[in-house]
Amino acid sequence: MTFSPSPRPSRRPFIKLLGALIGLGLIPASSLAQSLTSVTVSPASLLGGTAATGTVTLSADAPAAGLQVTLAKSDASVTIPTSVTVPASKKTVTFKITTVAVAANKSVTITAGLGTTNKTAILKVDAPTVTALTVTPTTVIGGTSVKGTVTLSGAAATGGVKVAFVSTTTSAIPPATVNVPAGSKTATFTAKTTPVATNASATLKATFNATSKTAAFVIKAPGVKSVALSPTSLLGGASATAVVTLTGPAASAGAKVTLSSSVKAAQMPASVTVAAGKTAANATVTTIPVAAITSAVLKGTSNAVAATTTLTVKPPAAKTLTIAPSNVSAGASAIGTVTLTGKAPSPNISVAITSDSNFASVKSPITVTAGSTTASFPIATFPLPATSTATIAAAVGGATATAKLTVTSVATIISMTANHAYSPTNVTVPAGTVIEWRNPDTQAHTVTSDTGQSGLDSMQQYPSGLPNGATFFWTVPSAAKSGTVYYYYCVFHGSPGNGKSLGTGMAASITVK
């Protein structure tokens, strides 16, 4: 009979039970060959919200069934497994450590236990730091605001984190704190500025978790944004209002704006002050009369920033023209008076005077003296066959004024007949009467004074005599006394008398009433 040996029972269930009893502290670990040497973390310091790796190390390889090591942590900001098992024949095992964002730096103790033996490691979980601070724009006018952004190295913890702010100058006013929302790395804010009299540098400082960042910008004093005029065009001697507007509000002492003009014809005060907190001020622009259209460049300057505008100063123009009397007898005179739209400049201004008729004569130009708005001039009239109207015009400053003058014919007509006679031969008329001689004859004739009476000589106008169809005018002197007789004859067809009687042939006379 043959006996076979019984199979050897497995030791694995026993070893597994033994490991469990040691883990529960029922059997001291010193009774085993393996003991807990250490627990370590890597990295030893990290930003909340990131992960680390833990390592448990035994003094000897774990038994075939592995060896369970318990794990614990001292703060809820860290998450680890409650235990790990060192694999069979291994001395170490790793485990994952996760963290959450924290509002303040923390030191968390990681404890590994095997039986009655505990080993610890310290993991530093850090709150985020300030990594950047920016502002935009980097240059602002005092009284306006800048936008800022603060950036952390990591996400903010639950409830957010408050970043403290300070400024190097009272002209820049950030909020005392800025809250970075939970889970976010950045937050934006607005920093106010106050008006300044001169350009100033400002620096904002953001601080959290013992770290700080700064951002600098420039606060500028206001310059001149614009100069606006009302009106933009005026008559020399009138005034306008200039509204000077700044790029921002004036500081507490006000803002001085220097004013200037490119020409003497338009002047402003040397400066104007914009009141504290205001952005505009008015200045009066005065002008003087000018002889031609003048462009004045008006300039406002503050803190080296200037703006300009242009004012058009106009010369006076013709406004009205009057004639007195407006109806005269031929040979009489009238007076024309031109009125301008404004005062004449120094020393004077010229006005062009014209007439559209040869029976009303004017001299041109006339002058209006400085400071005056009117000037008068004579209008001479001449004999004419029928009553007519002349248009007199006065032109200056791009405008023309007109008036009508009616000239009434008062001529006594004497014809030169084909039988070599004047018809009528003898006329009696008042002093100042206009005499008109007409020649319907085919032969030339003259009107020549027996005594060389000035003006009573047609040959001055017609040296060869009045041809057919021609006319000749002469006015009896207005000072002629009643009873005065003017004798005349034709040099071609008559002979003169002795100045006291009628000549022979073609001769005639004019007697004053």
The span from the CA of 369 to the CA of 343, in Å, is 9
Q: Are residues 211 and 232 in the same domain?
A: no
Which residues span the domain enclosing 177?
Answer: 130-220
Q: Is residue 278 part of a domain?
A: yes
Q: How many domains does the chain have?
A: 5
Contacts of 244-247 with CB under 8 Å at 24 or more apart are: 244/272, 244/274, 244/280, 244/281, 244/282, 244/283, 244/300, 245/279, 245/280, 246/222, 246/274, 246/279, 246/280, 246/302, 247/141, 247/222, 247/223, 247/305
pTM over 0.75: no
Print pLDDT tens along the chain (513 aa): 444 444 544 444 544 554 555 555 555 444 457 999 999 999 999 999 999 999 999 999 999 999 999 999 999 999 999 999 999 999 999 999 999 999 999 999 999 999 999 999 999 999 999 999 999 999 999 999 999 999 999 999 999 999 999 999 999 999 999 999 999 999 999 999 999 999 999 999 999 999 999 999 999 999 999 999 999 999 999 999 999 999 999 999 999 999 999 999 999 999 999 999 999 999 999 999 999 999 999 999 999 999 999 999 999 999 999 999 999 988 789 999 999 999 999 999 999 999 999 999 999 999 999 999 999 999 998 877 678 999 999 999 999 999 999 998 767 889 999 999 999 999 999 888 888 899 999 999 999 999 887 689 999 899 999 999 998 988 888 899 999 999 999 999 999 998 889 999 999 999 999
CATH number at residue 245: 2.60.40.10
Q: Are residues 438 and 506 in the same domain?
A: yes
Pick from 79, 113, 109: nearest CA to 96 = 79
The span from the CA of 455 to the CA of 360, in Å, is 19
Q: Is the backbone of residue 483 left (phi > 0), alpha (psi -120 to 50) or beta?
A: left
Q: Are residues 368 and 423 in the same domain?
A: no
Within 13 Å of residue 68, how many CA atoms lie on the same side as its CB? Answer: 15
Q: Are residues 301 and 244 in the same domain?
A: yes
Q: Are residues 71 and 84 in the same domain?
A: yes
Q: Is residue 204 part of a domain?
A: yes
Strands 280-287 and 239-246: antiparallel
Strands 411-417 and 434-438: parallel
Q: Are residues 16 and 122 in the same domain?
A: yes
Q: How distant, in Å, are the alpha carbons of 198, 229, 299 from that of 259?
A: 19, 13, 6
